[in-house]
Amino acid sequence: MAKGKTSVYFCQSCGYESSKWMGQCPGCKEWNTFVEEVIDKKQTEKVRKQASAAKVSHISDISVEEQSRMGTGFLELDRVLGGGIVPGSLVLVGGDPGIGKSTLLLQVCRNLSVGKEKILYISGEESLQQIKLRAERMGEFGTSLAILCETNLDIIQEVIRQEKPKVVIIDSIQTMYNENVSSAPGSVSQVRESTSVLMQIAKGMNISIFIVGHVTKEGVVAGPRVLEHMVDTVLYFEGDRYAAYRILRGVKNRFGSTNEIGVFEMRDIGLVEVENPSEYMLSGKPKGASGSVVACSVEGSRPILLEIQALVCRSNLGIPRRTAAGTDINRVNLLMAVLEKRLGLSMSSCDAYINIAGGIRMNEPAVDLGIVLAMISSYKDCAIPEDVICFGEVGLSGEVRAVNMAKQRVAEAKKLGFSTCILPKVSLKGLEDMKGIRLIGVENVQEAMRNILQ
């Protein structure tokens, strides 16, 4: 090994550093994740000298000004970002291959370039002609959009200093490389150091930078998890790449809430935002079919109505089969045990298949009552009326517990034409002025079953 260089080992999952190889990472407890990297000691000493000359500031001497956010042209994306793009922010966008990461960011470039904002799109995976072919499907672009196909970070850094754009798109971080790091592009050291350079550019020049990150088969961004800690915002695309809908979820956001989601639909012209996800999720709901009920869940500040389907039938197997799509299978098993114990339903000898229609995944406890009513409806083969909606958490003793934002949930149900709402009895307080919808408060699953079997 060359003089002045040393070899260290990094965990690919969490970025834990060690002087020797280990089978299990002490930080994240993952096995066989350590890879060898070479570090230049001279570069480390240079950084130490720069750090010794740095100045500190007292918090009382720092002045704060309200920064104006930049709209992306997508209300759904602005919602997830917390109101728009913050100047000088570093945003990581992850998701499965082909789900729409590059498409969404190119559409954002189109919206901003039409508004005469200076945008720089840097691609390390596609040629100029390929980007042009994808852009032609989206419509007219403004003249303020510049495109660069490059992977050398030193060249990219110099181009950014010359162009001085307001927004920069990096597609993708796994293709970028820093010449000061001897490892290959996409390795732990390259991804970490490249992100560090981009972070310095974003903060130093007050430029908003979006980074596209590939995900592994486990569903996390490829490279060390420390990458997620370095950026300001982490956004993940969810959904089946073969389905029409896409959900953009904020996992981390230093400038807003992490509970918001944005719903998009993939079309031939690109991604189109879905302004009313509830109506979109309920489209195609069967009429007069048993085992189907509409429940209300909340993502961030937005109530979303979704259809819960259940199929409960006698099992011919020694061990009944249980399947859940869109919710936790362990929660389904728990609720089936509650029904058998509190209502006397023979669920232990039945197969159960639970599905949240539309492919959306919801783990909020407020959908418990919907799952319970759907299973009772299928078990009794009794259809629930079309105009009934429900929400509430179900406890182990069969009680129906209160959930937050009850008024907003009822208002959303009323807006979509539902005339009856089954909800926890304790949530009726504060809903006395709600007119135009019948509210049925229940204390336990016995009362809920009586109301749907009338």
Condensed to tens digits (0 to 9), the pLDDT of residues 380-413 reads 999 999 999 999 999 999 999 999 999 999 999 9
pLDDT of residue 68: 81
Query: Could you tell me which of 116, 149, 150, 121 has the C-alpha nearest to residue 135?
Result: 121
Q: Is the pLDDT of residue 100 over 60?
A: yes
Convert the pLDDT of each residue in 40-73 to its tens digit: 655 555 555 555 556 777 888 777 666 688 999 9
The answer on whether 95 is annotated among ligand-binding residues is yes
The answer on whether 300 is annotated among ligand-binding residues is no
Q: Is the pLDDT of residue 143 over 80?
A: yes
Query: Could you tell me which of 98, 107, 113 has the C-alpha nearest to residue 136?
Result: 107
Q: Could you tell me the two tokens for 396?
A: 């182990």
Q: Is the pLDDT of residue 27 over 80?
A: yes
Q: Say if residues 34 and 10 touch (Cβ distance below 8 Å).
A: yes
Strands (E), 22-163: 34-40, 90-95, 119-123, 145-149
Convert the pLDDT of each residue in 150-168 to its tens digit: 999 999 999 999 999 999 9
Convert the pLDDT of each residue in 241-290 to its tens digit: 667 788 898 889 998 888 788 889 888 888 999 888 888 788 888 888 99
The answer on whether 387 is annotated among ligand-binding residues is no
The answer on whether 100 is annotated among ligand-binding residues is yes
pLDDT of residue 188: 76
CA distance 365 to 394: 8
Q: Length of the chain, please?
A: 454
Query: Could you tell me which of 331, 58, 16 has the C-alpha nearest to residue 192?
Result: 16
Peptide bond into 349 cis (omega under 30): no
The answer on whether 49 is annotated among ligand-binding residues is no
Convert the pLDDT of each residue in 355-367 to its tens digit: 998 778 888 999 9
Mean pLDDT of 428-447: 91
Q: What is the dihedral of CA 91, 227, 224, 328, to 10 degrees?
A: -50
pLDDT of residue 406: 93
Percent of the chain at pLDDT above 90? 48
Q: How many other C-beta atoms are found inside a 10 Å radius of the C-beta of residue 154?
A: 13
Q: How many helices (H) and strands (E) does the chain have?
A: 12, 21
Query: Amino acid letter at 443?
Result: E
C-alpha torsion sign, points 297, 427, 378, 453: negative
The answer on whether 270 is annotated among ligand-binding residues is no
The answer on whether 132 is annotated among ligand-binding residues is no
pTM of structure: 0.76
The answer on whether 97 is annotated among ligand-binding residues is yes
Q: Is the pLDDT of residue 219 over 70?
A: no
pLDDT of residue 278: 85
pLDDT of residue 53: 58
